[in-house]
Amino acid sequence: MRQRTVLCATAVMVAGLFTATAQAQPTTTGVQTAEAMAVDAAAGLVDSKPAALHASSDDAFVRHGVISATNGLKYVPYTRTYKGLQVVGGDFVVATNSTGQVLGTSVGQDVTINLPSTNPTVDKAKAESVARGQLATVDGVNGIDQVVYALGATPRLGWKVQVVGRDSEGPSKLDVVVDALDGKVLHKQEHVLHGTGTSAWNGPNPVQIATTQSGGTYSLKDPTSAVACQDAANNTTFTGSDDAWGNGNATNRETGCVDALFAVETENKMLSQWLGRNGFDGAGNGWPVRVGLNDVNAYYDGSQVQIGHNNANQWISSIDVVAHEFGHGIDDHTPGGISGAGTQEFVADVFGAVTEAFANEPSPYDVPDFLVGEQINLVGQGPIRNMYNPSAKGHPNCYSSSIPSTEVHAAAGPGNHWFYLLANGSNPTNGQPASTTCNSSSVTGIGVQSAAKIFYNAMLLKTSSSSYLKYRTWTLTAAKNLFPGSCTEFNTVKAAWDAVSVPAQTADPTCSATGTVTVANPGNQSSAVGSAVNLPLSASGGTAPYTWSATGLPAGLSINSGTGTISGTPSTAGTSNVTVTATDSTSKSGSASFTWTVGTTGGCSGQKLGNPGFESGNTVWTASSGVIGQHSADGQAAHGGTWSAWLDGYGSSHTDSLSQSVTIPAGCKASLTFYLHIDSNETTTSTAYDKLTVTAGTTTLATYSNLNKASGYVLKTIDLSAFAGQTVTIKFTGVEDGSLQTSFVIDDTGVNLS
């Protein structure tokens, strides 16, 4: 198995802010994808080390995969190290629009780290003992790592220990940060978050579910998200000889799985259609859901969702319960990790409510009623929580300074109340009940879908400093970014927070709509005959949504009237004068003009490699098994998009290769470019044990090794002009020795002609 050394975002709270910063503009050379433009813009900003990042000379930054949302918004998350140690709370996010313009940064850290020493006085054994003392029953310890804990005004050297066992609520997987100087507990973060078939809770029956067929056997496994529903007794997926499932009795485990899989598939459709998210983990996947937990409970623990029973021994796999638990997983797999300071249950409740609204089932099924667990009647007292009136279940309607230390389910009250007001308002006209505000104000809702988009985009700005106060700033920022031509949504977000007593923050943005439409000019473009084009455009001002049109596009190209993306394959060489126009919903419009030069396929322009960023999967290239893939879940994020090529990393004697043949026209200059990330467990500073060799035919172009390891990707450029007039095979060969892994990760390649 490959060893992973790339740092992952942690789920620990520190203070932070959202700060608009001077942006580093990406250089446009030909046509870039929106993801590549976001990466370039973020990299330029980070390299400049603006004050908002609180960066020291000993900090290093690790970029993670770009996250795409609706309206062309992109989010580039980073984690950091200090003198090689992971910084808990050092994460941040760079937000850009579809043309690579930096909109701002969301930073988890408040101060620059300057530790007098990184030598602990409390050893590992003592730290483990302290961490074990935080659980009633300890089954084991998953790992102990030395870290820097960047909370508040005084960063501290620490040990991060994950203990597994049980607490008063049941199973526990608890991260404990122990001060490495005095042995005190600095922070704790829990990762176990409680919380066609014949269905028990959904309908009308039979409900439609997507299952997987292999030969004559069917299984309760969603083919889109790969989520399987299993019997918790043995963790095996339910299978059968036909595609009919369940008997409608909620005490039957297979029926419980019908409901669970129906909820999973419904939520996954909502994520895609409403929020533009690729699956629960952001990479198209989810986690197994297991029905049969012998407890009056349900939970997500980072690797699975367990579904228990109510007091009537019925499995509690209703839409809002299952969507809530998978909502915890989404929270865990967005920047900053699991939300804290009393917000994590409110976050999951929002996903339950939004999925109910998306399903829009009729009575007596799981109707969109903004009640949590109303169908399952967990302990015989009706709903678990009430979003329009949290106090009906004994939870606070309004925020106060005591909320962060309140029991997490009760602490969801103000957030649930806020989301209900944002979506439906205080006096809805859509059949939903009235909701009393904390300041006696009146709020007019913007609808569930718009509210959900704003909240999800706020989560993409999330850092490990999450709190109600930060969510106020993040949701206001998200509303401004999503609806740049309108202040209606922004003002409603603000009014809803005011209505639940979450106070204004100094980092809150402001909004003023000008009524004019401005189209961001992408600059002059160049491409080649027969080479596919994908150029997203963006506009601001006026009243969204925009309708796009264009004149003068080269033959073979067209513009999507809804998204503003120019795509297609140019068919004729020449230079065109292009004008693109965005018209808002009130008929105001704005335009931008630029030239577009199309060269011939055999000319000295354009890029010659096929599938250069590997985003088409394992195509065009010839590669060893497992090299081309989506590796972020294994700790190797792509440079752009979600696909990359990962050679070696096994920690044993191994050879991987990656190659493609390319023709360089006679008389042309050419260069091979690629982004390379090398991480290694080798500690030597003098011996190259593991090597990556780059060749063109029989000519060696470059060699890299474990001695070149570094955080992040590094752009490599190699002159290929000597091969003009030839067809040559570009090949990367990685050779690893018998111990200590070295990973060579390649992305965003190109053979560029000039």
Active-site residue numbers? 325, 409
206 close to 197: Cβ distance less than 8 angstroms: yes
Q: What is the residue whose two structure tokens read 């704790």?
A: 188
Query: What does the radius of gyration of the chain's CA atoms come to, in whole angstroms?
Result: 27
CA 304/CA 541 separation, integer angstroms: 44
286 close to 221: Cβ distance less than 8 angstroms: no
C-alpha dihedral (600, 603, 605, 610), degrees to nearest 10: 70
Half-sphere exposure (Cβ direction) of 227: Cα atoms closer than 13 Å: 32
**Strand (E) or helix (H) holding 482:** helix 468-482
List C-alpha distances in Å: 238 to 230, 253, 255, 297.
Answer: 6, 9, 10, 21
CA 191/CA 176 separation, integer angstroms: 11
291 close to 257: Cβ distance less than 8 angstroms: yes
- CB-based contacts of 746: which residues, under 8 Å, 6+ apart? 644, 645, 647, 658, 674, 675, 676, 732
Helices (H), 363-467: 412-424, 448-459
CA 144/CA 164 separation, integer angstroms: 13
CA 259/CA 255 separation, integer angstroms: 6
Distance of CA 735 to the CA centre of its chain: 33
What do you get for the CA distance between the two ends of the chain, in Å?
Answer: 42
- Rounded to 5 degrees, what are φ and ψ at 344? -65, -35
Q: Which amino acid is at 451?
A: A
Q: Which residues, in sequence order, are bridge partners of residue 373?
A: none
Q: Which amino acid is at 403?
A: I
CA 754/CA 749 separation, integer angstroms: 16
239 close to 245: Cβ distance less than 8 angstroms: no
Strands 289-291 and 229-231, how do they pair? parallel
Helices (H), 276-411: 319-332, 344-359
| Cis ω before 390 (30° cut-off from 0) | no
Q: Which amino acid is at 535?
A: L
C-alpha dihedral (336, 337, 340, 344), degrees to nearest 10: 130
CA 52/CA 109 separation, integer angstroms: 9
CA 11/CA 333 separation, integer angstroms: 10
Strands 217-219 and 212-214, how do they pair? antiparallel
